[in-house]
Amino acid sequence: MYSSLKQYWSPDRADNFVTATAQGERDALDAKYSLVRIEGYVFPNSQPGIVPLKLYWNDARGDNFTTATPEGERAALEAGYHFIREEGYVYPNKQPNTVPLKLYWNDARGDNFCTATPQGEQDALAAGYNFIRVEGYVAPNTNGRTVIETTTPEDEVGFAKKMRTTAILYKNGLLTVKTFSETRAAFSALRGCVIIICLDDSGVAHYVSDTVRCTVRCALLDPTCTSSGTNAWTQQLPEAVGRLSTELNVIHFEGEDPVGFTQRIINGIKDTGRIAEELKPLVEQLGPVIRDL
């Protein structure tokens, strides 16, 4: 059993951040980091022959530093970083079907950047990072390529209220979504909802994401709030959904209780009779999960 080692990026901090824990992902999203890709897969628990992948943080630099070597720990402590948590466990030496987790450093940005993918290495070198060392070995991300990416135009969801979403679905079923919401209506907040529907190559819907509520309070109601905001979230869909999907439909709407609307979508999927056989058991388990952001 593996955990995904996810790469996040913050342009405000110029910081790359890899994490394999739910807490790390929450911290990244709370700090407005964006998901870039899955770098590989690590063990969630300790066992013989593997070592902890430790996260350190330096407040002055605004830098997350993930390391699994004694050299990395010494460098972190000497530079004033403090330990946050263990993100997972990796092999200290090369094993069959593993790839190196490489550490790069950019002095101008004050950023440590760990990557285990060819794309990550290209990004690091193109941005002027220097290779430091191999921090450990992880299972490779062989299914992480992007399958579909879609960006909606601005949808009017009410008077002077708009939503716009970018959604990306990866081959392994990872769905990443970013929604911009705005209200210009005086004394009227926006409680917008977004749903992502996955379709196959015949145009038949076969899976629906969680319903996510994105709330924006009007500035006239609360002077400390802005009238717009961006919400980023991820959901791990079944791998079969990633393999079989060829199109994403994004639905925006405003409402206090979207359960009935979501349930109608789910019932429609169940009633099509054209769902791929391997997805039928998954569709039967679908229910309207609602998340507030």
pLDDT along the chain (293 residues), means of 10: 85 95 90 88 91 97 97 97 97 92 97 94 95 95 66 87 90 87 82 89 85 81 67 86 88 75 82 78 80 76
Q: Indicate if 13 and 68 belong to the same structural domain.
A: yes
pLDDT score, position 261: 76
| Owning domain of residue 181 | 146-292
Q: Indicate if 156 and 276 belong to the same structural domain.
A: yes
Residue 283 bridge partners (DSSP)? none
Taking alpha carbons only, the member of 67, 75, 88 closest to residue 3 is 88
Place of tokens 């579909």: 148
Q: Indicate if 98 and 159 belong to the same structural domain.
A: no
Residues in the chain: 293
pLDDT score, position 56: 98
Q: Indicate if 206 and 128 belong to the same structural domain.
A: no
Residue 228 bridge partners (DSSP)? 182
**Domain total in the chain:** 2
pLDDT score, position 143: 55
pLDDT score, position 281: 81
pLDDT score, position 292: 78
Q: Indicate if 94 and 163 belong to the same structural domain.
A: no
The one-character DSSP state at 91 is B
What does pTM read for this prediction? Answer: 0.55
Task: List, in order, residues 6 or more apart from 264 with CB less than 8 Å away.
Answer: none
C-alpha distance from residue 243 to each of 21, 147, 248 (Å): 25, 8, 13
